[in-house]
Amino acid sequence: MTRDYLVRPGDTLGLIADRELGPGKGWEALWRLEANRRAIEEEQKRRGCQKTMSGPNWIFPGTVLQMPERHQ
């Protein structure tokens, strides 16, 4: 089961992963979800980002990401 997370100013995938999934889970857990890649890429395109400003390093406030289940 997943839940939504609204990206806030200053967020990075690494910070979100640490805060929402637990320390050391890594941003890759978020990037691997197809829905998150699509949401991030759509927002980048909407904002007119060039190829050099794409991928998991460029996320924007207001983007809705899916959080995978947190495993203890």
Question: H-type helices in the chain, by residue range?
Answer: 13-21, 28-31, 34-46
Task: Indicate the Cα dihedral angle 53, 15, 3, 56, nearest 10°.
Answer: 20
- Give the residue from 18, 12, 7, 8 showing the smallest Cα distance to 57: 12
Report the C-alpha gap between 23 and 60 in whole angstroms. 22
pLDDT in tens, the chain (72 residues): 679 999 999 999 999 999 999 988 889 999 999 999 999 999 999 999 887 677 888 899 999 999 987 655
Q: What is the pLDDT of residue 55?
A: 82
Report the C-alpha gap between 41 and 30 in whole angstroms. 13
Q: Supply the pTM of this predicted model.
A: 0.86
